Amino acid sequence: MSSLQTTVVDHPIVQARLTVMRDETSSNAEFRAALREIASLLVYEATRELERADVPISTPVAPTTGTAIANPPLLVPVLRAGLGMAEAAFNLLPESQMGFVGLARDEETHEPTPYMASLPESLAGRPVLVLDPMLATGGSLLHCLHLLASRGATDLTVICALVAPEGHAALGGSGLPIRLFTASIDERLNENAYIVPGLGDAGDRQFGPR
């Protein structure tokens, strides 16, 4: 049985922002703004079940019991493209910490080349929220998720704007317990392992070509 749980957030605002990201005439600034908004909406959905803690407070009128996030997730944007989701996630979860994983996909082999990992040594007992707009072959996210699991993470949630069926199957076959939140599962990959219809290169569309 697969331990991948997938939620496609088919909300009109999410789909309208995804359309801005897909549109080849959108500017870099419009693309970044749409990705930030999608990231906020997907993170909001993905954090519904976060553990809560009661906190005693007093309003100006009376004592009462409020809510705090008991165990804020570690936020992990996958560089470069995941950087465009980081601020939105941090704004919703200011009590969180952030780690970074840098991966660049080889254009010929489509395999990820790791160039950076800045993460706490132990992730045991810590929920982790991974941010990457694109899941194509799945190579990059699987590398990141295995790295997180090797440090003890067992509570893994992935936020992607777009997913290809091939990458989705790769995550499902990994044996890792993963919750995935996305705006769309697209049709397929093309011969260059780009998502179809997709939105192009999410890093280049935010920051310009490498």
**Which residues lie near ligand PRP (CB under 6 A)?**
78, 80-81, 103-105, 110, 112, 132-141, 167, 193, 201-203
Q: How far apart are CA 119 and CA 39, in angstroms?
A: 21
Looking at beta carbons only, is 127 or 203 nearer to ligand URA? 203
Please select the residue that binds ligand URA; options are 18, 101, 136, 170, rule is CB under 6 A.
Answer: 136
Enumerate residues 28-87 that contact ligand URA by CB under 6 A: 81
Residue 169 · residue 188 · CB < 8 Å:
no
Residues 144-203 that bind ligand URA (CB under 6 A): 194-195, 198, 201-203
Q: Which is nearer to ligand PRP, 30 or 69 (CB)?
A: 30
- With beta carbons less than 8 A apart as the criterion, state whether 166 and 196 touch: no
Q: Tell me: does residue 207 bind ligand URA (CB under 6 A).
A: no
Check: CB of residue 112 under 8 Å from CB of residue 99: no
Tell me if 134 sits within 8 A of 85, measured CB to CB. no
The beta strands (E) that lie in 19-82 are given as: 52-58, 63-69, 74-79
The residue among 17 and 105 lying less far from ligand PRP, judged by its C-beta, is 105
**Helices (H) then strands (E): counts for the chain:** 6, 13
In the complex, the residues that contact ligand URA under the rule CB under 6 A are 81, 134, 136, 194-195, 198, 201-203
